[in-house]
Amino acid sequence: MKQKNNENLPKNPIEAQGMLMKAFYEKFGKEALPIIKEICGKQGRALGLKIKNKLSNNKLSTVAKAFSQSYDPNNVKVMFLSDEKFRIQGTKCPFGLENTSRELCEAAMEIDYEYFRTAVSDKIKLTIYRSVADGDARCDTTYKLKNE
């Protein structure tokens, strides 16, 4: 079978997942978002359980260090890291969601949110300040342990 030269192929499984999310969102609009969010949440919980079992402790700083090792440091920077707060900024979406929509970003980010909720605590709060999916120059997100 001959490959098409102009075919837009994903560079990795995460890009392929992003292509699927975009196609689903383009076809079904806002109705697709709860489904995308639900499935991404399940993926995040599975990944959170996996990392929780691998690490020596489940402090936010420990989990965040492990999480940040999976990203290209040319595209993603850790801005702040402690046991109470983790702030990260990126110039490229790993899913390729640039200039799509903030709501699609929020649905996809359920992966990371549930990852931290599962691996660290259900008291984690995710705040998305900026998003390349929404047309911003960079993503800017914070994971913070809520005070009780």
Residue 29 lies in a domain: yes
d(CA 45, CA 117): 8
Residue 15 pLDDT: 94
Residue 8 lies in a domain: no
- The mean of the pLDDT values for the chain is 93
Containing structural domain, residue 121: 13-145
pLDDT digit string, tens, across residues 52-87 = 999 999 999 999 999 998 888 889 999 999 999 999
Residue 144 pLDDT: 97
Long-range pairs, 55-62, Cβ under 8 A, ≥24: 55/119, 58/119, 58/120, 58/121, 59/83, 59/120, 60/84, 60/85, 60/86, 60/116, 60/120, 60/121, 60/124, 60/143, 60/145, 61/86
Residue 1 lies in a domain: no
140 - beta bridge partners?
Answer: 89, 130
Residue 133 lies in a domain: yes
Domains held by the chain: number: 1
Q: Which CATH number is 116's domain given?
A: 3.30.1380.20
